[in-house]
Every structure is written in C-alpha cells, then in structure tokens.
Amino acid sequence: MRNAGASMNRKAPSWPTLALVFAVVITGGCRNPFPEPGKPIVAQAAARSISATPQSVGSTAAEGIDFSALVEACGAAVVNVSVIRQFPSAPAGPAEAPDDDPFGEFLRRFGIPLPFGHAPNVPLRGMGSGFIVSPDGYVLTSAHVVANASRVTVKLADRREFHAKAVGSDLRSDVAVLKIDAHDLPVVRFGDARALKPGQWVVAIGSPFGFEHSVTAGIVSGTARTLPNGGYVPFIQTDAAVNPGNSGGPLFNLQGEVIGINSQIVSRSGGYMGISFAIPIDVARSVQEQLIRTGRVERGRIGVVAQDVTAGLAESFGLERPRGALVSAVDEDGPADDAGLAPGDIILQVDGHEVELSGELAALIAALKPGSTVTLHIWRNRAPVNVSVRVAALDEATTRPPATAKHGGQDSALGLAVRPLTPAERDPRQRAATSWS
C-alpha cells in the first residue's frame, strides 16, 4: 500500500520539513497491573479524578486532566525507532528525489535541485516510534517507518539501544514487527478498539520531530474512517497532536491500554492540523500474529465492487435509513458471483457484524480466513436475505477487479471499487430490465 505521507517519520536535520499535502500511517497496554484493573488509570492517580458519568467528565475536562499516572505506567514500553536508508542518486534535479519524500516532493514542484547532488549513494536517516508487545523483544511499529531500511535501531525509554531485525512488514495495513535481543522488557496491554466512541479521551506517546517520549492527548473524533489506499483498515480519527516521528507509536485509552497505532495525518503544511489517524489495535494484532507465525498476511476476498448507500438510494431500495454497502459490480466467476450476489444487492451484515459504510465491508472481508464460509445478510427486492459465500484469498492478482467484472467501476487498491450508479440502478423500477454484462 503506497501512502502519500509514507516518509512522515523521516528526520533530516539539515532540511526543513516541507510538504503541500501530507497524509501518512499502528498499536498496544502496560505491563504492571493497575491498582484497580478496568478503571481508568487517570482516575486512580490524578488529583482530579474522572468518573464514568458524562456530567463529572465534562466538569473535570473543564478543569484539566492529569495524564501523568498513565504516562508513568505505560511510557516505559514506548520506544524510538531510527532507520538508515540508502537511496541511489542520479545527477541532481527535481525529478530525482525519492518518490515518498515530502521534501523531495516540494523540490519537484518548485524545480529546486536536490541538495545531495551527484553522490553515488546518499544515506538518509528516518525516525519513528514503536512499542514493546512481548518481554522477549517483539516491537510493533508502522511499515512505512522501516520501509527500505538498511539498518533499524530501537532505543528504549532507559536509553539502551538495540539493533532490530525486521520480522515482517505488511504495507497494506502499514504494520511492521521488529525483534530486538533483549529480555524482561516492559510491555503494553491491548485494549478493544471496537469499544471506542467519539468523544472519549486518548493519549499518544512518541517521538515527533525526534523529541522522544513526547505526550499529547485528545479525543476520538470518529471511528471506522476510510482513507485512500487504506480500505483494509477502519481508521480511528483523533485530534491528539501527531506529527512526523509519531508514526508507529501507541494510542492509549484512559485504562492505559493500546487501542491504536498512530499512522497518518492530513495536513497542508506537513505538520499537525487536528486530524490524525490510527490503526485499530485488533487489525494490528492480527497482522502481528501472522507475521510472527508465517512471515506473511492472508486476507479474504469475495469479489465485489461496493459503494455507500445515500439517503436517496436508501429510499429507492426501500431501506428505512441509509446503511450498508451497495454492490455495484461483481467479479464474473468470483466467490460472490458463484453465491448469486448481483449488482443492486445491499450488504447489511457480515457474519452478524453490522455494515454501515462500504469501507467497513472491505475490512470485514479482508479479516476472513480464505477457504472459510461467510454469511452475508443482504437487502434484495425490498426484503432481507441471507447468502453464504465461500471466501477466496486476496493476492496481488486479485487486488484490482478484473475486466470481466459485471458493471465494474474505478478500481482501488483494496479489491473494491466505487463508481456512480447508472440511471437504471438509481431507479429500482428499471433494475429488472437492465442488461448485465
């Protein structure tokens, strides 16, 4: 998965960090149990504690919240990740900058020669964050932090440094697993990202611009966000300040549990502008387990093209409200086609999991084991229907919908595609007369 902000964490002291539009992408909890497990650590140790009632939370927020107990309990498991990359350099010129370098993008746009000139190989240093997930030295970080790295160094909170081995990296989810030769390390605890609600407090710890173990806080702005080229991940949106160097670091809830990996920002300046995204920890853990076990990640596919259901479409199809993923194309002879799915069906549930937006469908299907059978609860002809589909494996050959897809549209990197509905599809009275290719 290629990301326009893939070099968000690159640290280049001699260059200003400049970018016109910056968008980049992960996971963890804390080793020692808290005095009262399950209760917000902030509430246990802060001078002004937080209760679960909205009224008291509101008043406490107005006075200010002390996150120091959470940081003290969890910060030891957060690490700094520094990398060295080697980029071959041709004669200097704006077109020769690395494709994923925001500074190089700035140079290309304004025709400024690259500072490294004609050097045959230019070592570039990058920096990100990560967190320890096992006492024997497994570390989670972002894949783009360690991409193309010739050397990776992990620095602990106690200032010890270790050369890290890359166990595996999954670009589609932007999750990477590192291993350092150390023992009895402090580790994070994992929380449940699915339980997050907009408005809840979250805390990010990382190394923005190289300032190690910086702490920022904010709230959950939204869940299950879909980003370009990121449809396998239902991102958590927050307003916690995340900047270059934060990528790969943990996002904590008030219980001191990791619920996400800080991954991307949206910015016009290259810095924080109030919109940050994190990879849900359940997605990251699944990737972590597979990378450690087999070195690769398997994902499911059913071969459909889907789009969101608008209010107008919901009314046309007889739904009580806009929800679900409208199937606008089906891969010919694919799993969904074999199961009888057709354009115009609206997928409402996947094995009992509600589908509100089409982006959620991609993540749910990708999480399924190839070869398994999934039950789709769909809306067809103004009535609910259950359809069983055998899940196929997603690979590079099936990432893009084939040309034989029935009523295919503009493809994405997720195996799903979106296009506007035809007039016949907008009007259910004309659907029966539509000729499907």
Give dist(CA 114, CA 135) in Å, integer: 43
100, 144, 328, 377: which is the annotated catalytic residue?
144
Which one-letter DSSP state was computed for residue 399? S
Give dist(CA 332, CA 437) in Å, integer: 9
Sign of CA dihedral 69, 72, 78, 79: positive
Residue type, 292: I
Q: In the numeric block, which tokens belong to residue 84?
A: 């060295």
Are 308 and 325 spatial neighbours (Cβ–Cβ below 8 Å)?
Answer: yes
Are 208 and 265 spatial neighbours (Cβ–Cβ below 8 Å)?
Answer: no
142, 247, 267, 328: which is the annotated catalytic residue?
247
Residue type, 273: M
Half-sphere exposure of 29 (CA within 13 A, CB side): 18
Are 186 and 155 spatial neighbours (Cβ–Cβ below 8 Å)?
Answer: no
174, 282, 337, 345: which is the annotated catalytic residue?
174
Q: Measuring CA to CA, how many Å separate 294 from each of 146, 168, 175, 298? A: 19, 9, 15, 10
Q: What are phi and psi of 418, to 5 degrees?
A: -130, 140
3-state SS of 333-344 is CCHHHHCCCCCC
Give dist(CA 132, CA 129) in Å, integer: 11
- Our measurement of the distance from residue 35's CA atom to the centroid of its chain's CA atoms, rounded to an integer in Å, reads 32
Give dist(CA 1, CA 260) in Å, integer: 19
144 catalytic, yes or no?
yes
The H helix count followed by the E strand count for the chain is 11, 25
Give dist(CA 322, CA 329) in Å, integer: 19
Are 400 and 411 spatial neighbours (Cβ–Cβ below 8 Å)?
Answer: yes
The phi-psi region of residue 300 (left if phi > 0; otherwise alpha if psi is between -120 and 50; otherwise beta) is: beta
Active-site positions read 144, 174, 247
